[in-house]
Structure formats: C-alpha cells, structure tokens
Structure 1
Amino acid sequence: MEENMKFATVEDTVEYRLFLIPDKPGDPEERREILQKYIERIMTQFAPMLVPYIWQNQPFNLRYKPGKGNVPAHIFGITKFGDNIEDEWFIVYIVKQITKEFPELVARIEDNDGEFLLIEAADFLPKWLDPDNSANRVFFHQGELCIIPAPKKSGTVSWLPTTPPTISQALSIISTHPEKILASESVRAAVNRRIRGYPEKIKASLHQAHCFLPAGIAAVLKQRPRLVAAGVQAFYLRDPIDLRACRIFKTFLPETRIMTSVTFTKCLYAQLVQQRFVPDRRSGYKLPPPCHPQYRAHELGMKLAHGFEILCSKCSPHFSDSKKSLVTTSPLWAGFLESLKKNDYFKGLMEGSVQYQERLEMAKNYFQLSVNRPESSHAMSPGEEILTLLQTVQLDIEELKKEEAYLPPEDDERWLDLSPDQLDQLLQEAAGKKEPEPTSKGREENYDLTQVSESMKAFISKVSTHKGAELPREPSEAPITFDADSFLNYFDKILGSKSHESDSDDLDEEDSKCLDSDDDLDLETQEPGEEASVKGTLDDLKSYMAQMDQELAHTSLAKSFTTQKQMEPLSQTTNDNSEEEDSGTGGSVMTPVDVDLNLVSNILESYSSQAGLAGPASNLLQSMGVQLPDNDDHRPTSKPTKD
C-alpha cells in the first residue's frame, strides 16, 4: 500500500512530501546528497518566516526518506498541528511556495482526513472525482494546484492510466504534461482563499498579554518564545496526577514573580483564558479579587506557571547529558548560519548585541528542531529543555522588575467575543459566498417573494440521488422557467390518457408534439402483450386516484390550501357539464391550488417558527443565495404594568 501513499493515521496530523522531477534512476547515495542539499536550501530560505513562528505542537520539518517500492526517494515531513488548524494551512502555504521557488520539486500534502485540499474545494470539483479514485492525483507544481484527470473512456488518452496512478506514473505525467493537469480556476481559488494573507497573517494570529510570572519562566520565554505552547498545552491537558506536582512548587516559586509580556497565538491564549482553575492553597499562588485591574495578568501567570511546573516535573533534573547536543558542532551549522546572513535574517543588527544574540538563539533552536533534528529517542523534551535553559541563563530579578515599566501594551482581546453578525460573516466567507447585503426597512417592504418560489422550483428540478441533492449555484443570474402545463401533459401522457376523455388535463394535438422522440419510440417499440399489461396497470392506478379524489372531496383537506381566484364566471354550459362529470363526487368542483402562494406561505411560516435561529427553511434558502429579511411583525411586546 506504500504506492498509494497511505493517509496520516495520527489525529490532527499533516504529512507533506517533495519529489524531484524528472525522476531519473541513479545512485541512491547521490540522490540522497541532492535531496539533502534541497532541504538545507529550503529551510534556510524560509527561515525568516519559520523561526519566529509559534507552533501549537510540532514545527514544520523536512528530512530525507529513501525510496521504497514504486515510491522514489523524496523529502518528507510530518507535523501534528493539534487544535490550531491554522498551523496546517500555514504549512500548505509553505509547501505551495516551495514548489514556486523550486520548480523542479513537486509536492503532495494530506492529513488524517485524506485529501483535505479537495475537501476544501468540494463545491467546485468535477463530478468524476471522488474519494475512491482521488489517490495520487493532487499535487502542487510551480506554485499551482494540479489534479491529474481520469480518461472518460479506456484508452482514449494514451498518457492517462485508467486506474488511479502510482506515484511514479503521477510524477511522469506532471513532468511531461504540466499544462494539461492544472486544476480549474474555481478549485484553485477555493484553496487560495483559505491561505490568503500569508505571511502577513502570521502577525495577526498572535496576541500579546501581560502575565505575572516567576522570573525563571520569563527568562526561558525570552530565550525560547515557542515554549509557551508547551506550557499552555501542559496546563490545558492536565490530569489529577499532573497536579500533584503543583501542590508545592519546586522549580518556579511564586515569590519570584514579576510582570512581563508574553506572546501567544490566539489559539493558545483562548485555551488558557477560557479554562477556570483554582490553585491549591499550598502552592502559594494567590489571586487578587476579580475587580483588581491586574487580575487577568495574575490569572494568566498562575496558569502558565502550573503548565511549566508540570513539564519540569516529568523529567529528572539530572537527565542524560547525551541529549544536550551542541548545535555548533554540526557540520551543517556553518553553512546554515552563512545562508541566514545572506537572506538578511539578522536585519542588520550588530553582531554581539542583545537582539542579535536573541535571534541567534532562536536560529539555533530552529536548526536543532527542523534541520539537524535528532532521532526521537534522543530528542529533548520541553521539560528537559526548560531545565537546561535554567542552568545556563543568568537571572537578575531586580533588572527584570525594572523592565516592568517599559512593557509594550497588551493587545485587545475583543476578538474572543463573537457577535452573531460576525459569525454569519465568517460562515459566509468559509463557504466562499459574498457578504449578504444589509437589509434596510425599504428593502424589506419591496422584497420580492417570487425569489423563494423560483429558487424552490430550481432546487426541485436538480438531480437528487442517495448521495444528496444538487443545489442551484447562482439562481439570481439565470431566470427560472417552469412550465406547469407542459409538466402535467407529460405526466398525463405517461399515465396513458386517451383522446376521448374530456378532462382539462388531457393532451391536445399541439402538446403531444412536444414529447421527445425517445418517449414515442419507447411506446411504439413495446410488444402488444407488454403494452396491454402496462395499460392495465395504469388504468388501475387512475381508478385508485379517482376513488381518492371522491373521498377527499367530502373532507376539509381542500380548505387547508389557498386556491386560485376565478378570473371570470363559468358559463352555464360549463356548469352543467361539470355537474354531470362530477356527479359521483357530490357535485363539488375543486378549485386549482395556487402552488406558489402555498409554497411561500409554508416556508415563511417555517422561517418564522425558527425565531431567528438556524433551521431548514433558512438553511435551504441561504444555500441557494436567497436571504429573507428578519421577521419584525410578531415581536413579543411587553405587557403594560399596573400603576
């Protein structure tokens, strides 16, 4: 199954692969050296974006993976993004840009849900593409999304396999026919819409907040800002066993707390803020009253201190020194550092300055995690990394307290509170639809209810199968036509109406010419015995329908529908004929039902019963682009109070 590139099996995990084209056979060691050079070039070129990025769980990383079976040697990476889905889409952006900067590389990306790029563009995919035949068809090439098509008939296109291609076949197709595999504009737009805004979007995803933290944590985060993610996750996923270490703090004492500024991602900040937690009395972490102006800073610091204490409690202070691998001893470090300088990573900072050293430490950490990553058995855990930093960093609590007066302002956290209008806007953007126009009072008065009936008719006319119903994509651009008379004539023809019957729904000579030739051919080619059997069945069906009409004529069912108004009085002759024909039904004439009016009335009644919440009526209409105005006619009024 290696040929079909199994989906990632770990939850919330994304896998990405980079293949070199054309795929020429050669010495495996030579191939390894070539791909290793590409890894160094990629990680160096994208270091300015990747180094300061705070990952939820694991960073973007690349490593060489040897060939196996029909899958050639390639560059492989895997990242667990956890609860922050933005990490996954940032990786999509990075992979897309890699193929743009290195046209000889072809990328494939998937997660535990499978082809999530196709899921994102599900509304615009060709009908032939489904999960059963999508294996090894979706790639990034030269910065564009590509989908290898399937031939309509076997053998019609020589370079397209009839079954899902293998990786080798896919790479060969991309190399020889790059212009014929480009995904449609709508599919590419759907994916590009999801990654729109990067790399500027990275800064918008961060949140700065003041935290009342132990000085040790403040010093660690100054050296390794990314460790805030590990601290938040440790607190967020804590269990009773973890909290045993927080009864009495051994590493981060509450007496050393200072006010500092911490940078979170919005996901991490929300996870930390939204959880209610009361610290153990023995811990020494006491909170001021909620009305205190710095209550939030004390609460955030207390929670973060618990997370860091949990991390450190899971490892021994005397862990193996073999894990403390020095970055500068790696033969790749010198070339990596030189490449960073060429890419202006240090932004012209003076070598040896405080800011230069901070960026250098971040680069070393990034190099250790992403470029020179050791085997998992020898990798340092976050707790071990924190303890190592505490042994090397020099703590000057008095100096840190002086910096409290120069802290940058906190970011506004109003983004945590989402109004219903903002939620609707986000849902509209996620669905790729235009923002709904604000409904004014004048627009409500002039609202055209024919949109509702026409949209429903368009919906009914679409294909409906066991897989679901198709929705009209742009009902407002194309007028809806529905010929009710023609529809009834076709239906009557199928039921086998006879020319001597005098019902108003009979087919006349002109209507009979509108039938498709295929329908006429089917009736003409039927055998006599088969035709007689069909006619007998249809006659029985019409008999049942006539009996049902007679029974319903004596009920109040007709009163539940709104009927059409008679445009002119019926003539006496017509009345006489009707009385003769309907004598079996008690002489009552059923007035035709106004289908449109009943449809609109029922939908509006259903919409009103939703009371502003989501429901079948609003969901169905909105999916077809119809926006109903708010129901302001039946607002509850307050009862007058007695004086």
Structure 2
Amino acid sequence: MDSGDDIRSPEGGFNEFPRRLPENCVEYLLFVIDSKLEARNLLSELENVRKAAIQLCDSVAKDYIWQRDSFQLRIERDQDLVYLHGTTDYGDSIEDEWLIVYLLRELTKSFPTLWVRIFDDDGEFLLVEAANVLPKWLSPEIDANRSWIHDGNLHLLPLAASSGAKRPLSLVEAVGYIKSNPNTLVHSAFIEAEAFYRLEKYPGQIADSIHRSLVTIPRKLAYILHEKPSTIAPAIEAFYLRDPISIKPLKSPSTDIHFPPKDLVTVSIKFTKTLFAQLKSQRFSPPPIWNAIFEAAEKGTSGADDTPKKLARLEMGMKVTSGFEMLATNADAKDNRLAREFAMLLEDVEEDGIQALPTDKDIETWEDVHKDDNESWLDINFEDFEDELQGNHGSRNRQKGEFGDSSAQADLKKIVSRFEAFLNDESAGIEGAELEDMDEDDDDISDEEDSDDEDKEVSFDEEQFSRMMREMMGLPAVEPTGSEKIPDVSMPVTTQDTTVEEDDDDAIRQLSTQMEAELKEHGALKLDPEPEKAKAIEARDGVGSKGKAKADGEQKAGSGEESSEDEVDVDYNLAKNLLESFKSQAGMAGPAGNILGMMGLQLPRDEDEDEEEDDD
C-alpha cells in the first residue's frame, strides 16, 4: 500500500488526523436545512436561532451553576457548511451534558427547519442510551453523523445515506442526505424513549441539582459570592485539583492573602450537588492561619448542642475560602470566563475597601441567606442499596422511596430491569449479547457457521471413549451392564450421520490397534515380566529364592487368600525408563521426579557412580 495516499491529499497538502474531543466535553452542531431558504438569508436565520437559544438558556437555567463551561453557540463555516457550533466542558457533572440536550431539544420545537447533532468524547451517546433497541445494522463503527434531533424527535439516517454500504457518514454527506431525503429518515418511538429517558426529569431536575449550605467565611468572600454565585465552580475546582504550588501561599506566613480568616460571617452558599460532594469529600488540614480560629471555636462552644454543626460550617467555610485563595493566585490568566470575572470583581472590592462590604443588616436581606438543605442524599446505606437491587423495597423496616432521591431510584430500577431482561432473553445465543455486523468479514462468518455445524454434529460418548482408551493402553475392557451397555458398533447404520460417525470410530480403532501393536513390540505393554527380568529384579532388590519364599509365606499368613501367583506385576521397561529419566535429571527438578513425588515416592540421588569415578 502506498503510504502517500494516506498522508497527502490530492492537492499535495497533508490530510488532517481524525479530530477527537477532549475528555468530558460535549459538542453540538445546529443546522438550518430548508430548500426554500436562500443562501443570503441563512446567516440571519442562524443568528435568530442563536439568540433564541441564549434566551432559552437564561430563562430555563438562570440559576444553574455550570461545572466548567456554560452553554454557548457561535457561527462557524466548514467545508461549504454554515452552522452554529458549541463545545462545553462539563467536567465531573454529567447533568451539564443532559441539560444541554434538553435545551437543544426544546429549541428544535420552536424552529421547524432546525436540525441538531450532538455527541461527546464517547461518540453518539444518545445511541448508547438506546443501545438495546437499536436496529442490528446500526453498529458503533458506522453510527457517526447518523443521529439528529429535529422538531423534538430523534431521527436516524438509514443505510441508504451511505448508498447501502456499512460505513460511517461524513458531516457533508449527512447534511446532503437530509436536504434531499428528509422523509426517509428513521424515527422510532422506542429508540427515542430510551435515548431521551434522562430528559423526563427536566426542567425540574435543574432546581433539584442545586444544594444550599450554611458556611462560615470572610465577609469579603460572602459579598463576592452574593454578587456572582457561579464563581463557586472554578474555586472548588481549584481546591479539588490543588497542587503543592497552589497551596504554598496558604502555608507561608509572610504572604499577603486575599481572604484572611477575619470578620467571619455565616451565610448560605449555593452549590450544585456535584460541587458540594467534591468539597465535602475532601480531607484538608486547616492552613496555619486558620488554626487559632478552630481552637477558639472549639473552646467557645464546648458543651453546646450545636457545636458539631458550627464546626462543620467552619470547616466547609475554610475549604471554600482556601479554594478562592488558590483561584485568586492566577485567576486572570485562566482560560475560564468565570475565573476572569472573579478576578475583576475581587480587584474592584479591594480597591473600594471595607466601605464596599455589606453589613450584617444587609446580609439579612439577602435571599435564602439562612437556608441549609438536608445532606442525606450524600449518605449511601449499602444494605438499602442491596435491597433495591434485589427489589426488596419493604425490607429492613424501610419505607419505599427512602433510598436516595427519585431520580436515583428510577435510574437504578431501569438498570435492574434491563439486566433482568438480558438474562431472561431466550433468543440470546451461548455468547449472550449478539455481535452481528460488527468487525466481521465473510471468512469469519463462514468459519463461525462451520463451527456451529460441527458443534451440532459432535456428541461425546464417555463410555465408548473410556473403552477405546483402555484398549489402546492394553488394559482389559470393562463390559457395561444393563442399560449402560454400549451398543454394538457393527449394528446396521440407517442414516448418513451415523455412517460418518461409524467411519470415524473405525479409523480411530485402527489407529489405536496400530499403536498397541507397536508398543507391544517394544515391550511397553507387557504386564508379566519375563523370568530373566524377574530374576534380575529379585537380585537387584537383594531378595533370593529363600527370601522370596519367606515373603510369600508372610503374605499368605497375613491374608489367608493370596498365593504366590498373585504377586504385583512390574513392568520392567517402564521402571527402567522412569529410573533412567530420574537419573538424567542429575538431582534437579524434572518430569520423572515430579511424577514420582505426586505418587508419594522420593528417590535418593544416584551418587554412587559419581563417587566411584572420583575415587578412581
């Protein structure tokens, strides 16, 4: 293969490497597709869509705190395509991604000519949600650019969009097919229900994702958070991803910090549940400048009933303040809009001084200043979790719905129901999930079909196999009795399959007969030693005729039934081969030693010959 075909384009330039989204990012493309719309009016229509999208976001998600990036759109041109494009880094908050899906779906209901494509670093995540109801031809290898949101519904581009070939579509091909064949797209209510399942809890989920908590922080920081609540996101991220360099200003007594632990006030701060969990779960020792504050708080409230709550609020406030302190070190240089807004607000507050800060009376007028939400959603009772998995909603004296929130229960029930459906799927093959049309070629398919046919034809007869092995090894055959008796292989054959099996048996029998004859020729299967070899064995063991008779007499006296003819048969060749093999090991580990050891025999090293050679 000519590597130049892969590296250089026909124009002589380099082809671009496949672009891949960064981790935890979602990308969305908005197209206005209307054959009646003139090209010069396309830009104005896209601008109308952009303004409507921003207004929708401001109205629906006005109080929402984005983890990293917010919902955003800009006009972009690419390969003769003009569309709105946006990318959002949602970090650890998957709710940000689904909120964007909700916004875009609602937006398409207002614009009949709007078509939206959305995906993340995992690919077509909407199709992943609906994986169990997708058509078999739609595999992850060819699903690129095939899922589109239009008029609030999910549409799929069929194989006809790629001329019937099972390959991924380019963006230009997908848009072109929608323009020319909008009525041939696939719309399934089952696929749509699965793909948009998480959207059922919106828009109520936006308010449910917010958590308010009382914390004790400096007055300056309380004012900044009141003016710009969304700055809590970059501050907690700075705290959550802290490093020794960012912590250094907090541990250095000579460094001037922006938020010293002075003039502390207790106010309610708004978090998302993701941000609050990140902050709450972190173990962080108070910086030196906070030690005196904690000691005074423990002494001043010792013995009071609310001491644990006050210390918990102080600890959370210390973490929040430390996060903002870390953020302030280089906030103006960060590639984050909220961080830059915080830097400008902090600069204005420091220039205005103390007179710009709110008084206690001013703080009392703030909305929800004393609100403190329940934190029970953080607790996981693993016994209750096990009950939910097993469907025992009423066990352990627990009321139904007490485990987690409603969304967590719904998601868990859906997972369990899908798993049970998978296990109870009688149409599934031996491998479980079907993998049709994925990474298969004709050769692989034909091989698998042949293998399946072979599996159907092959049947294992344990008794017949045992009999054949005994014959091959020269052991006496054991005749089965009753119903277990093996049918005579010379019985008339009535079917072609049994004829094939009979031929195979004859071939195996002939082969075993030849092997048996060859082994007998070399004496490997002789169970009765010849007189000369028996004498040699007796002489080697130091047992003469008298000793043998004495041993026979003792054996008869002990058993009363055995005779001299019932002596243990010894295969001289086999014993000789074992001894020679053991000797060749030279005292090291080897097959003969291992076999003898498994039989409970430990032979000494054969050192006589070596010693004689040394004496010579």
TM-score normalised to the size of structure 1?
0.57
**Distance 1:489-1:208 versus aligned 2 partners, 3 A rule:** closer
1:412 to 2:374 alignment: yes
Code of the residue aligned with 2:64 in structure 1: it is Y
**Distance 1:455-1:267 versus aligned 2 partners, 3 A rule:** closer
Partner of residue 302, structure 1? 318
RMSD value over aligned CA atoms? 4.7
Measure how far apart 1:57 and its partner are: 0.6
Could you tell me whether the CA contact under 8 Å between 1:60 and 1:79 is conserved in 2? yes
1:254 to 2:261 alignment: yes
1:194 to 2:194 alignment: no
Could you tell me whether the CA contact under 8 Å between 1:133 and 1:163 is conserved in 2? yes
Higher RCO (CA 8 Å, separation ≥ 6 residues): 1
Code of the residue aligned with 1:10 in structure 2: it is P
Structure 2's unaligned 5+ residue stretches are 1-8, 390-407, 439-453, 465-483, 513-616
Measure how far apart 1:242 and its partner are: 0.6
Partner of residue 31, structure 2? 19
Could you tell me whether the CA contact under 8 Å between 1:16 and 1:77 is conserved in 2? yes
1:55 to 2:66 alignment: yes
Fraction of identical pairs, as percent: 28
Measure how far apart 1:100 and its partner are: 1.9
- The superposition leaves residues 337-375 of structure 1 with CA deviations (integer Å, 9 ceiling, x where unpaired) of xxxxxxxxxxxxxxxxxxxxxxxxxxxxxxxxxxxxxxx
Measure how far apart 1:410 and its partner are: 1.0
Alpha-carbon distance between aligned partners in 2 of 1:406 and 1:16, rounded to the nearest angstrom? 35
Q: How does 1:283-432 map to 2 (within 5 A)?
A: 283=290, 286-287=293-294, 288-289=297-298, 291-315=307-331, 381-388=340-347, 390=349, 391=351, 394-400=356-362, 402=364, 407-420=369-382, 421-422=384-385, 424=388, 426=408, 429-430=411-412, 432=414
- The superposition leaves residues 470-512 of structure 1 with CA deviations (integer Å, 9 ceiling, x where unpaired) of 9xxxxxxxxxxxxxxxx99965699xx9xxx996899x99x97
Partner of residue 90, structure 1? 99
1:166 to 2:170 alignment: yes
Partner of residue 596, structure 1? none
Alpha-carbon distance between aligned partners in 2 of 1:207 and 1:158, rounded to the nearest angstrom? 48
Could you tell me whether the CA contact under 8 Å between 1:314 and 1:383 is conserved in 2? no
- Of 252, 272, 275, the match for 2:282: 275
Partner of residue 564, structure 2? none
- The superposition leaves residues 363-391 of structure 1 with CA deviations (integer Å, 9 ceiling, x where unpaired) of xxxxxxxxxxxxx6999725423424525
Alpha-carbon distance between aligned partners in 1 of 2:433 and 2:360, rounded to the nearest angstrom? 72
Alpha-carbon distance between aligned partners in 1 of 2:36 and 2:427, rounded to the nearest angstrom? 52
1:236 to 2:245 alignment: no
Structure 1's unaligned 5+ residue stretches are 152-156, 324-375, 437-450, 471-486, 513-519, 525-530, 546-643
**Distance 1:299-1:462 versus aligned 2 partners, 3 A rule:** same
Deviates more, 1:424-433 or 1:193-202: 424-433
Q: How does 1:537-576 map to 2 (within 5 A)?
A: 537=504, 539-540=506-507
Measure how far apart 1:395 and its partner are: 0.8
Code of the residue aligned with 1:136 in structure 2: it is N
Measure how far apart 1:272 and its partner are: 0.6
- The superposition leaves residues 285-313 of structure 1 with CA deviations (integer Å, 9 ceiling, x where unpaired) of 63244953311111111100011111112
Measure how far apart 1:542 and its partner are: 8.9
Partner of residue 21, structure 2? 9
Alpha-carbon distance between aligned partners in 2 of 1:167 and 1:87, rounded to the nearest angstrom? 25
Partner of residue 572, structure 1? none
**Distance 1:430-1:88 versus aligned 2 partners, 3 A rule:** farther
- Of 102, 119, 139, the match for 2:128: 119
Code of the residue aligned with 1:280 in structure 2: it is P
Measure how far apart 1:35 and its partner are: 1.6
Measure how far apart 1:394 and its partner are: 2.5
Deviates more, 1:251-260 or 1:425-434: 425-434
Partner of 2:149, secondary structure, is strand
Deviates more, 1:243-252 or 1:286-295: 286-295
Could you tell me whether the CA contact under 8 Å between 2:30 and 2:116 is conserved in 1? yes
Could you tell me whether the CA contact under 8 Å between 2:65 and 2:233 is conserved in 1? yes
Could you tell me whether the CA contact under 8 Å between 1:261 and 1:407 is conserved in 2? yes
**Distance 1:252-1:189 versus aligned 2 partners, 3 A rule:** same
**Distance 1:427-1:168 versus aligned 2 partners, 3 A rule:** same
Could you tell me whether the CA contact under 8 Å between 1:19 and 1:75 is conserved in 2? yes
- The superposition leaves residues 485-543 of structure 1 with CA deviations (integer Å, 9 ceiling, x where unpaired) of xx99965699xx9xxx996899x99x97xxxxxxx8xx89xxxxxx97x8644655699
Partner of 1:165, secondary structure, is coil
**Distance 1:505-1:42 versus aligned 2 partners, 3 A rule:** farther
Measure how far apart 1:455 and its partner are: 6.8
Partner of residue 43, structure 1? 54
Alpha-carbon distance between aligned partners in 1 of 2:507 and 2:292, rounded to the nearest angstrom? 85
Measure how far apart 1:44 and its partner are: 1.5
Could you tell me whether the CA contact under 8 Å between 2:126 and 2:196 is conserved in 1? no
Alpha-carbon distance between aligned partners in 1 of 2:134 and 2:230, rounded to the nearest angstrom? 38
**Distance 1:274-1:543 versus aligned 2 partners, 3 A rule:** farther
Alpha-carbon distance between aligned partners in 1 of 2:511 and 2:360, rounded to the nearest angstrom? 96
Measure how far apart 1:243 and its partner are: 0.9
- The superposition leaves residues 415-445 of structure 1 with CA deviations (integer Å, 9 ceiling, x where unpaired) of 1011233474558835735669xxxxxxxxx
**Distance 1:145-1:52 versus aligned 2 partners, 3 A rule:** same
Partner of 1:46, secondary structure, is helix
Q: How does 1:463-502 map to 2 (within 5 A)?
A: none
Code of the residue aligned with 2:152 in structure 1: it is G
Partner of 1:209, secondary structure, is strand
Could you tell me whether the CA contact under 8 Å between 1:313 and 1:383 is conserved in 2? no
Code of the residue aligned with 2:107 in structure 1: it is I
Deviates more, 1:250-259 or 1:262-271: 250-259
Partner of residue 34, structure 1? 45
**Distance 1:542-1:27 versus aligned 2 partners, 3 A rule:** farther
Code of the residue aligned with 2:276 in structure 1: it is Y
Measure how far apart 1:197 and its partner are: 0.8
Alpha-carbon distance between aligned partners in 1 of 2:125 and 2:73, rounded to the nearest angstrom? 20
**Distance 1:231-1:455 versus aligned 2 partners, 3 A rule:** closer
Alpha-carbon distance between aligned partners in 2 of 1:239 and 1:117, rounded to the nearest angstrom? 36
Could you tell me whether the CA contact under 8 Å between 1:492 and 1:505 is conserved in 2? no
Could you tell me whether the CA contact under 8 Å between 1:5 and 1:136 is conserved in 2? no
